[in-house]
């Protein structure tokens, strides 16, 4: 068994959960925060049989679209106080980890 841990944009999470649920994949949604941008994102836990990993990855790739956005993550001290420095980052898309599950129980 594998645990797919997918960090996705909040905007994509609704559609992704819908797509996965329609195909009978179990999903747990966690509200999370990116360490760099300090913005909310969504972490999904998806436990699947090893043979289902590629199918789930394909759904994630199809559902989570990448785009670039200007953000101001790091304010610096200027003459008039702290001023944000806009920078372009990639947002959306998905950061995915596939972990081996040693054991799995349901009680």
Q: What binding mask, one character per residue, do residues 67-86 give for ligand 2BA by CB under 6 A, x or -?
A: --------------------
Quick one: which of 30, 89, 99, 101 contacts ligand 2BA (CB under 6 A)? Answer: 89
Quick one: which of 7, 17, 27, 46 contacts ligand 2BA (CB under 6 A)? Answer: 7
Residue in 14, 38, 39 with CA at minimum distance from that of residue 27: 14
Residue in 77, 68, 16 with CA at minimum distance from that of residue 46: 16
CA distance 82 to 86: 13
Return residues touching ligand 2BA (CB under 6 A).
7, 34-37, 39, 41, 89-90, 93, 95
């Amino acid at each position: 068994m594998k645990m797919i841990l997918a960090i996705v944009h909040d905007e994509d999470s609704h559609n992704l959960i819908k797509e996965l649920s329609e195909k009978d994949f179990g999903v747990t949604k966690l509200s999370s925060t990116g360490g760099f941008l300090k913005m909310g994102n969504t972490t999904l836990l998806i436990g699947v049989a090893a043979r289902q990993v590629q199918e789930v990855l394909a759904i994630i790739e199809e559902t989570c679209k990448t785009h670039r956005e200007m953000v101001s993550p790091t304010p610096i001290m200027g003459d008039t106080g702290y001023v944000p420095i806009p920078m372009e980052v990639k947002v959306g898309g998905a950061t995915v980890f596939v972990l081996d599950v040693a054991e799995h129980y349901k009680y």
